[in-house]
Every structure is written in C-alpha cells, then in structure tokens.
C-alpha cells in the first residue's frame, strides 16, 4: 500500500512538472510616441498571465519580460493594434 501511494504521488509530481508551460525571455517594444497607458496595460496583462517584467528601457518605449507562449499570444493580440513588436531576447554579435 505504501509503495503504491508513493508511486502515485511521484507520478502526480512528474505530471505537474511536465505540465508547466516553458517561459521565454522576450523584448517588447512600441513605436515612439505610444501612450504610456498602452505600455502600462501591456505590463498588467503580462503580470496577470503569470509573466514577469525583468527590465524597463529608458531610451525606447519597451521592456524585457519573461512569459509563456500562451501569455505571449494574448499580449500580442492586444499589442498588434498599437504597433507592438515582440522578439525573442538573444545575444547579438557585431563580428562573425
């Protein structure tokens, strides 16, 4: 009985770990002149979807966020009408 209960708990734990949606780090930016309320709404949507704002830019209107693919799709649906650009955060090299 103890072995079966332990096995079931282990299987449940493994299923929960596998079910967690992987998160990606992305850069979200808006065109110059976009209202601050639009950026605030985007940040709110990310946080409500379980994402995280990692860094806010000062020279451009945008920020770095970590979010799941599902959350990314929801945020992108809102941002498309406002000129939002979402791109995966990655290392860029100036020399080959």
Please tell me the distance from the alpha carbon of residue 24 to that of residue 21, in angstroms, as a whole number: 10
What DSSP line would sit under 67-80, residue for residue? EEHHHHHHHHHHHG
pLDDT digits (tens, 9 = 90+) for 44-93: 988 888 889 999 998 999 999 999 888 888 888 777 778 888 888 888 88
Please tell me the distance from the alpha carbon of residue 94 to that of residue 60, in angstroms, as a whole number: 21
Apex 27 CA angle, 24 and 29, nearest 5: 145
Residue 76 structure tokens:
């992108």
pLDDT digits (tens, 9 = 90+) for 14-44: 555 545 557 889 999 999 999 999 999 999 9
Per-residue pLDDT band for 95 (boundaries 50, 70, 90) equals: confident
Fold of 21-88: Alpha-Beta Plaits (3.30.70)
Domain boundary assignment for the chain = 21-88
pTM of this prediction? 0.70
């Amino acid at each position: 009985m103890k072995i079966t209960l332990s096995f079931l708990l282990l299987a449940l734990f493994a299923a929960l770990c596998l079910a967690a949606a992987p998160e990606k780090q992305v850069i979200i930016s808006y065109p110059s002149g976009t209202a601050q309320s639009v950026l605030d709404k985007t940040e709110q949507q990310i946080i409500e979807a379980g994402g995280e704002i990692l860094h806010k830019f000062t020279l451009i209107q945008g920020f770095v966020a970590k979010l799941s693919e599902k959350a990314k799709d929801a945020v992108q649906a809102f941002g498309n009408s406002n000129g939002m650009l979402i791109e995966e955060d990655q290392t860029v090299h100036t020399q080959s």
